């Protein structure tokens, strides 16, 4: 029998959710309280005011954060997001998940995360640049190539990272390529970084199809989110011969039971800014997309999408998590009972941080790899991590998320215990 997950209540706070997931693993690992207490909370938190001079001359002040959960396995690593809902608990949860993600794929980083509570769609390009540079300056006291390396996340991109790297380099007095990852290629970025998160998810998904003996042409896929992860995953899977029956963005979704023409949808999005209005498919809501008949469901948008309220209506055989924290612990218990095969977020979306690690190494060495080298090494690392998780599933009869956490938490706990407590 599989081990059961039975959280007492369903959390809506992402940090409470992250702690519940950690507590389950800590209990199963029988971690001593001395280690548990250290890993249950972030090591360091920085909250900053980010004043920005707007185009009309007014000064607005935004709240920014940078949280480092663990440094036991190396410098911290984590993205920067711009979103109105960014708050300290969201950033705490994302930083903790980054610690487990880096440990699971066995790269020498701890976990961190950062963000600014802002809607970037309401800012001009100049305002975005001033916001980014001021935020980078404010958190510069704890970030850098040896301590904490930012990367893009929700509503940030290569240009954002270029502004951050330039700001940090000006403070240092020389160019510091390894200070951030996800940069444009011509200033030290890595080949394959833009598609890395989606590509890693595809590598793991194909391993899952082999394990479950599913034929790609008969494997219908629904994808919530059509940004960097969801859009690239849709394109790659479509090219691999899997029918993409549904996609969505923040405004709504599309459904076609025989599969969408993803190239045509992408042209429509480039022209209009949304999937909405594409005439060759039926309009659906984001909530409806999650409950469609399909073999693979990829939540690649926000967290807390699959809860106790809708988990029993999930029909997909495989849930491949492209987003961070899309499934609550209580929903996990329902999916486990249903026999849904879950690719947990700490594995499914780890491709981005793996290639960020490659970019960091290239920046330190000033020696750059080909895209083929990047993709080959990404596949090697993430496929090994998948089989590591499946080995624990088979040997200990645990749910896949639990198995992933057992591996990751054990590695971080071992590092923390070996390094000890100073003084």
**Which residues are marked as active site?**
113
* Euclidean distance between CA atoms 296 and 260, whole angstroms: 15
What is the C-alpha to C-alpha distance for residues 403 and 29, in angstroms, rounded to an integer? 11
Is residue 204 within 8 A of residue 343, CB to CB? The reply is yes
Strand order in the sheet with 282-284: 282-284, 252-255, 244-249, 221-224, 296-299, 318-320, 341-343
- Nearest Cα residue to 221 out of 293, 284, 279: 293
Is the dihedral angle over the CA atoms 357, 70, 156, 332 positive or is it negative?
Answer: positive
The 3-state secondary structure of the chain, one letter per residue: CCCCCCCCCCCCCHHHHHHHHHHHHHHHHCCCHHHHHHHCCCCEEEEEEEEEECCCCCEEEEEEEEEECCCCCCCEEEEEEECCCCCHHHHHHHHHHHHHHHHHCCCCCEEEEEEECCCHHHCCHHHHHHHHHHHHHHHCCCCECCCEEEEECCCCCHHHHHHHHHHHHHHHCCCCHHHCCCCCHHHCCCCCCCCHHHHHHHHHHHHHHHHHCCCHHHCCEEEECCCHHHHHHHHHHHHCCCCEEEEEECCEEEECCCCCCHHHHHHHHHHHCCCCCCCCCEEECHHHHHCCCCCEEEECCCCCCECCCCHHHCCCCEEECCCCCCECHHHHHHHHHHCCEEECHHHHCCHHHHHHHHHHHHHHHCCCCCHHHHHHHHHHHHHHHHHHHHHHHHHHCCCHHHHHHHHHHHHHHHHHHHHCCCC
């Amino acid at each position: 029998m599989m081990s059961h997950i039975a959280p007492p209540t369903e959390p809506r706070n992402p940090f409470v959710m992250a702690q519940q997931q950690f507590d389950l693993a800590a209990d199963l690992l029988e971690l001593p309280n001395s280690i548990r207490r250290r890993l249950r909370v972030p090591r360091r938190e920085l909250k900053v005011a980010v004043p920005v001079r707007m185009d009309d001359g007014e000064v607005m002040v935004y709240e920014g954060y940078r949280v480092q959960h663990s440094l036991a396995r190396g410098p911290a690593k984590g993205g920067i997001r711009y979103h109105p809902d960014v708050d300290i608990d969201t950033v705490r949860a994302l930083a903790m998940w980054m610690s487990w993600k880096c440990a699971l794929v066995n790269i020498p980083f701890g976990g961190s995360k950062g963000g600014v509570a802002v809607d970037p769609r309401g800012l001009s390009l100049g305002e975005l640049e001033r916001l980014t540079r001021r935020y980078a300056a404010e958190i510069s006291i704890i970030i850098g190539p040896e301590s904490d390396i930012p990367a893009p996340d929700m509503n940030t991109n290569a240009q954002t990272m270029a502004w951050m790297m330039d700001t940090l380099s000006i403070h240092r007095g020389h160019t510091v390529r390894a200070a951030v990852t996800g940069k444009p290629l011509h200033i030290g970025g890595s080949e394959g970084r833009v598609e890395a998160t989606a590509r890693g998810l595809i590598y793991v998904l194909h391993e899952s199809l082999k394990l479950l003996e599913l034929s790609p042409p008969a494997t219908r896929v629904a994808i919530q989110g059509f940004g960097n992860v969801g859009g690239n995953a849709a394109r790659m899977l479509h090219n691999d011969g899997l029918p993409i029956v549904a996609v969505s963005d923040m405004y709504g979704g599309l459904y076609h039971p025989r599969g969408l023409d993803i190239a045509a949808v992408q042209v429509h999005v480039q022209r209009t800014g949304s999937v909405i209005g594409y005439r060759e498919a039926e309009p659906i809501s984001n909530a409806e997309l999650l409950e469609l008949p399909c073999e693979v469901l990829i939540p690649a948008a926000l967290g807390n999408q699959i809860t106790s309220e809708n988990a029993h209506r999930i029909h997909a055989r495989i849930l491949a998590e492209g987003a961070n924290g899309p499934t609550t612990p209580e929903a996990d218990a329902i999916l486990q009972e249903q026999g849904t095969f879950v690719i947990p977020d700490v594995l499914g979306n780890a491709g981005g941080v793996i290639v960020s690690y490659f970019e960091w190494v290239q920046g330190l060495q000033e020696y750059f790899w080909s895209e083929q080298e990047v993709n080959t090494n990404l596949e090697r690392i993430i496929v090994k991590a998948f089989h590591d998780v499946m080995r624990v599933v088979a040997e200990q009869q645990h749910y896949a998320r639990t198995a992933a956490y057992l591996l990751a938490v054990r590695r971080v706990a071992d590092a923390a215990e070996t390094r000890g407590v100073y003084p």
